[in-house]
């Protein structure tokens, strides 16, 4: 089964467990809206790919962790889109959650998704007691204060922040959690996988900065030009487009090199190179990236 | 040491672990503002009291769980106070978090507090692997969808909800989590402690409804008359003051009776009776409760 199908099934399963007759029905609809159909599911794919590379022996645990990571990502998108931040009308080509269900349910949906991430882990955790604490810690590191994605977003409220500090927290932290958690779910040492998460995380944020400047809202499925509008640190703004593209390539090269020795090293390296080309195609001479929104669901086509 | 002092120390310890030099400083100030000086800390006191009654053998685990429960409660207060819900200017006699730090940081502070609750559990969880999954599940049940406090708040966005359903989720669920988690932290069966959490949770919500109608903002430390203003289900509105007070007494009586056989049963029962009198004094003939805001920090004076 392709990783993305496996993730989709696991997300559906977790959502169905929550969507009980005694749950508030509009909240449940808001939760589904926030999670499905979803974007590229890059982070959970990365988590599962690392678990497989580490000799995955507990697929139900990797699934639960991958689900948790995607739910935490979805939660951050719901809250980031709200009027007090981006005030974004659209996400993934659909109305943002607060546009569809109102601010109160968007706020609660984000909260519920954070908790649902931990529910996913709790559900299978009892069967893997020696791996649970490390996984719990890793998820928390990726999303909370002092240096997870919540902290990354909070840096936007500070008067002084470096680009690297901001990007490491806002995007990098959950990528690091994804690679580390993949290893931990397989009972492996997470340390050798840290650098892959760091490089990919920074590269994705740089790519996002470039795409925010170069692509239209139509292609992005969300408003364009947000970084400039909100005065946020941006690689495209601070390095220029060419500088940012070169930085992106260097980060993806570093990601390729960082992949630890394992039977699937060559395959993983190939996927990272494909992903690099998908995000920022080599031919950007016309300053318009030739990417359709539909490609968002075709990335990292690993077969498990 | 009194339970409340122990909780205060444990909260300070968890906050200090998060408040690192690389954390966004304004977010950290907002987090401290949301947690300190704090209210009555009823839920974590309940958790520790049950742990003690169950023969507590891992105080660092009970502390971590009690901290987690209080942080989840604080998170819900921060988000509930925001403009899209209560739009409350004050909480515990101080400006609400969004009034002091703005909406973006209030939103993020709530998110970070939810995650910090799990960080607290993760920190000591590795030393208690066989208790961790149950504790994690219990915390999630108390706060998330389908029936935790997030769901309770979401019922306010539905057109049909029963008072009991609303109260069980909005307040009862975290009280149930508090008693169950106290037992689990001590390695005991949580089932016998479920009813105490249910009865106390519903009683506190009824008391809150009564106080919202009868007390001034000055005494409450937060705006009064909120239930009526926001059209929320309220025991005081649906049963009248006298009916609500009688219901409150019945619930506290049921809580007293429900306490399982244990060496500290009589002491716990005495505390519940004192707490009943503190919340809603027997002499309410002038329809004004003779409670000062300062009593909020003197409840459940258990000595550990």
- Average pLDDT of span B277-294: 61
Instruction: Report the predicted TM-score, pTM, of the whole model to 2 decimal places.
Output: 0.92
* DSSP states of B22-45: TS-HHHHHHHHHHHSS-S--HHHH
In a domain, A188, yes or no: yes
Nearest-CA distance B178 → chain A (Å):
17
Interface check for B129 against chain A (CB to CB < 8 A): the answer is: yes
Lowest-confidence range among A63-77, A278-292, B177-191, B261-275? A278-292
Dump pLDDT digits (tens) for A16-55: 999 999 899 999 999 999 999 999 999 999 999 999 999 9
pLDDT of residue A180 exceeding 80? yes
Nearest CA in chain B to A133: B126
Q: Are A125 and B111 in contact (CB < 8 Å)?
A: no
What is the extent of the structural domain holding B148?
3-297
Interatomic CA distance for residues A137 and A144, integer angstroms = 10
Nearest by CB: B140 against A108, A119, A165: A119
How many angstroms separate the Cα of A290 from the Cα of each of A233, A247, B148, B223? Answer: 25, 20, 46, 55
Q: Locate tokens 């739009």: which residue? A: B87
Q: Are B114 and A119 in contact (CB < 8 Å)?
A: no
Nearest-CA distance B122 → chain A (Å):
5
In a domain, B302, yes or no: no
- Average pLDDT of span B17-23: 93
Q: Which residues of B touch A146 (CB under 8 A)?
A: 18-20, 22-24, 28
Q: Which residue pairs from B210-218 have beta carbons closer than 8 angstroms and sit at least 24 positions apart in sequence?
A: B210/B235, B210/B236, B210/B241, B210/B244, B210/B245, B210/B248, B210/B280, B210/B289, B211/B279, B211/B289, B211/B291, B212/B236, B213/B237, B213/B241, B214/B241, B214/B284, B214/B287, B214/B288, B214/B289, B215/B288, B215/B289, B215/B291, B217/B90, B218/B293
Residue B228: give its domain's CATH number: 1.10.600.10
Dump pLDDT digits (tens) for B211-237: 888 887 877 888 888 887 888 888 888
Interface check for A112 against chain B (CB to CB < 8 A): the answer is: yes
Question: How many domains is chain A built from?
Answer: 1
Interatomic CA distance for residues B219 and B288, integer angstroms = 11
Report CA A245 to chain centroid distance, whole Å. 20
Nearest by CB: B122 against A115, A122, A133: A133
Interatomic CA distance for residues A238 and A111, integer angstroms = 33
Q: Locate tokens 């508030």: which residue? A: A24
pLDDT of residue B143 exceeding 80? yes
In a domain, B186, yes or no: yes
Q: Locate tokens 């994705």: which residue? A: A204
In a domain, A17, yes or no: yes
Nearest by CB: B23 against A26, A75, A151: A151
Dump pLDDT digits (tens) for B149-170: 999 999 999 988 888 888 888 8
Average pLDDT of the residues of chain B: 90
In a domain, A302, yes or no: no
Residue B169, token pair as written in the block: 């989720």
In a domain, A303, yes or no: no
Interface check for A27 against chain B (CB to CB < 8 A): the answer is: yes
Q: Which residues of B touch A24 (CB under 8 A)?
A: 145-146, 151, 154-155, 157-158, 161
Interface test with A, best of B108, B116, B130, B162 (most A CBs within 10 A): B108
Lowest-confidence range among A70-74, A253-257, B225-229, B258-262? B225-229
Dump pLDDT digits (tens) for A140-177: 999 999 999 999 999 999 988 888 888 889 889 999 99
- Terminal Cα-to-Cα distance of chain B (whole angstroms): 6
Interatomic CA distance for residues A273 and A252, integer angstroms = 7
In a domain, B128, yes or no: yes
């Amino acid at each position: 089964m392709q990783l993305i199908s496996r993730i989709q099934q696991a997300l559906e399963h977790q959502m169905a467990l929550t969507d009980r007759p005694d749950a508030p029905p509009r909240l449940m609809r808001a939760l589904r809206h926030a999670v499905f159909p979803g974007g590229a599911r890059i982070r959970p794919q990365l988590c599962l790919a690392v678990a497989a590379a580490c000799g995955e022996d507990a697929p139900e645990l990797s699934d639960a962790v991958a689900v948790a990571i995607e739910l935490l990502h979805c939660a951050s998108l719901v809250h980031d889109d709200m009027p007090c931040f981006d005030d974004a009308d659209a996400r993934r080509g659909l109305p943002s959650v607060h546009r569809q269900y109102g601010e109160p349910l968007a706020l609660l949906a984000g909260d519920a998704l954070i908790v649902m991430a931990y529910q996913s882990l709790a559900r299978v955790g009892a069967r893997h007691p020696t791996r649970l604490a490390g996984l719990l810690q890793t998820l928390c590191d990726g999303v909370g204060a002092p240096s997870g994605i919540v902290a990354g977003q909070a840096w936007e409220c500070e008067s002084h922040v470096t680009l690297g500090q901001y990007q490491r927290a806002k995007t990098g932290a959950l990528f690091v959690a994804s690679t580390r958690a993949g290893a931990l779910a397989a009972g492996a040492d997470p340390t050798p996988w840290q650098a892959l998460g760091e490089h990919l995380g920074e590269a994705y944020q740089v790519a996002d900065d470039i795409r925010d400047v170069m692509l239209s809202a139509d292609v992005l499925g969300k408003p364009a030009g947000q970084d400039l509008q909100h005065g946020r640190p941006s690689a495209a703004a601070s390095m220029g487009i060419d500088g940012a593209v070169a930085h992106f390539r260097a980060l993806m090269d570093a990601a390729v090199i960082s992949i630890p020795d394992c039977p699937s090293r060559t395959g993983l390296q190939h996927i990272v190179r494909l992903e690099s080309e998908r995000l920022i195609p080599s031919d950007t001479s016309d300053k318009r990236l030739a990417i359709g929104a539909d490609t968002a669901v075709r990335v990292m086509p690993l077969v498990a």
